[in-house]
Amino acid sequence: MRTALIAIPVVLAATAGAWTTFVRVRGDLAQQRADIASEWSDVDQALEQRASLIGDLADTGRKLAPLQGEVLKQVAEARAAVLGGPAPEDKVQANLRLSNALAKVLVEAENHPRLRANPVFLRIEEEIKNSEDRIAEARLKYNDSLEHYNARIQSFPHNLVARISGFGRNDAYFPTEHF
């Protein structure tokens, strides 16, 4: 009887401690997931701004020089995919296609002295470079948040809480070698 009187408060205290830890860790994981979403929002906004600028650059190039229709079509399709991609992975792939199309526009611009001398074309080109810097910074923050989250859900007690609460690994990294 005396053992039961001692064991009951100990079990209750251990249960309360475990529950408190569970709630704290679950809240931490939820906050990390929210931080990832916020960081992705910054990346997404920078990608969309860059896509708009590349569209403006292609339009300016089309007005001033006879750019190839196929290149303009690639820019338009990739730009639409960046602006309309639902998932980070889709946007990353669309951004790669847009970067390839931008490279083609810039190669064609090299063959047209009017484009290389046009202040509007050069200003947009400079804005694109600045937007790429913003993308790189936002991408690094986003990837760091993902890395931190993925590491946390593999450590004790986060791994137990993650399994119970349905928090899974997120591998939607933004590749860094393309910028």
Number of other residues whose CB lies within 10 A of the CB of residue 176 = 10
Give the residue carrying structure tokens 């993650």. 162
For 4-47, the pLDDT digits (tens) are 777 788 778 888 888 888 899 899 999 999 999 999 999 999 99
What pLDDT, on the 0 to 100 scale, is given for residue 30?
92
For 79-107, the pLDDT digits (tens) are 888 888 778 888 888 888 889 988 888 88
